[in-house]
Structure 1
Amino acid sequence: MNKHPTGTREQWLKARLELLEAEKELTRRGDALARQRQALPWVHVDKDYRFETETGSVALADLFQGRSQLLVYHFMLGPDYEAGCPSCSAIADGFNGIVVHLTNHDVALTAVSRAPLSKILAYKQRMGWTFPWASSHGGDFNYDFNVSFTEEQQREGDIEYNYERSTHAMEMSPPPEPVVQFATCCGTDVKTYVRDKPGLSAFVLHEGEVYHTYSTYARGLDGVWGMYQWLDRAPLGRNEADGVWWRRHDEYATR
Structure 2
Amino acid sequence: MTGTDIALPPVVDATTWEHRLQALRAREKAATRELDAIAAERRRLPMVEMPDYTLEGSDGPVRLADVFEGKSQLIVYNHMWFTGKEWQCPGCTGFTSQYTRLEFLDNYDARFVVVTQGPIEEALAYRQRVGNRMAWYSTANSPFGSDVGAPPDGGFAVNVFLRHGDTVYRTWYTAGRGTEQLSHSFALIDLLPYGRQEEWQDSPAGWPQSPTYSRWATSENIAALYGPLTHTDGPAS
Determine the structure 1 residue equivalent to 2:125: 122
Q: Is the 8 A contact 2:78 2:156 kept in 1?
A: yes
- 1:200 paired to 2:170: no
Aligned amino acid, residue 238 of structure 1? R
Aligned amino acid, residue 246 of structure 1? W
Q: Secondary structure at the match of 2:113?
A: strand
Change (3 A) 1:84 1:141: same
Counterparts of 1:35 and 1:114, CA distance in 2? 32
Determine the structure 1 residue equivalent to 2:88: 84
User: What TM-score, normalized to structure 1?
Assistant: 0.76
Q: Is the 8 A contact 1:77 1:83 kept in 2?
A: no
Determine the structure 1 residue equivalent to 2:48: 43
- 1:9 paired to 2:9: no
Aligned amino acid, residue 85 of structure 1? C
Equivalent position to 1:64, from 62, 68, 71: 68
Determine the structure 1 residue equivalent to 2:108: 105
Kindly tell me the number of residue pairs found equivalent between the two proteins. 207
Equivalent position to 1:137, from 140, 150, 161: 140
Counterparts of 2:183 and 2:84, CA distance in 1? 25
Determine the structure 2 residue equivalent to 1:246: 216
- 1:93 paired to 2:97: yes
Deviations 1:9-47 (A, max 9, x none): 1111001111111111111000100111121101111x2
Counterparts of 1:67 and 1:17, CA distance in 2? 43
Q: Is the 8 A contact 2:87 2:219 kept in 1?
A: no
Counterparts of 2:192 and 2:170, CA distance in 1? 36
Q: Is the 8 A contact 2:79 2:92 kept in 1?
A: yes
Aligned amino acid, residue 79 of structure 1? T
- Runs of 4+ in structure 1 deviating by more than 6 angstroms, as ranges, are none
RMSD: 1.8
Q: Secondary structure at the match of 1:95?
A: coil
Shift of 1:249: 6.3
Q: Is the 8 A contact 1:78 1:115 kept in 2?
A: yes
Counterparts of 1:34 and 1:81, CA distance in 2? 37
Counterparts of 2:85 and 2:146, CA distance in 1? 17
Counterparts of 2:55 and 2:166, CA distance in 1? 18
Aligned pairs for 1:164-179 within 5 A:
none
Shift of 1:84: 2.0
Q: Is the 8 A contact 2:49 2:167 kept in 1?
A: yes
Q: Is the 8 A contact 2:180 2:186 kept in 1?
A: yes
Unaligned 5+ segments in structure 2 are 200-209, 226-237
Shift of 1:247: 1.7
User: What TM-score, normalized to structure 2?
Assistant: 0.82
Identity of aligned residues (%): 31
Determine the structure 1 residue equivalent to 2:26: 21
- More divergent stretch after superposition (24-33 vs 205-214): 205-214
Deviations 1:199-226 (A, max 9, x none): 1000001133111100001010111122
Unaligned 5+ segments in structure 1 are 150-194
Q: Secondary structure at the match of 1:112?
A: strand
Q: Secondary structure at the match of 1:251?
A: helix
Shift of 1:48: 2.4
Counterparts of 1:35 and 1:79, CA distance in 2? 39
Determine the structure 1 residue equivalent to 2:191: 233
Shift of 1:129: 1.7
Q: Is the 8 A contact 1:77 1:114 kept in 2?
A: yes
Counterparts of 1:208 and 1:117, CA distance in 2? 24
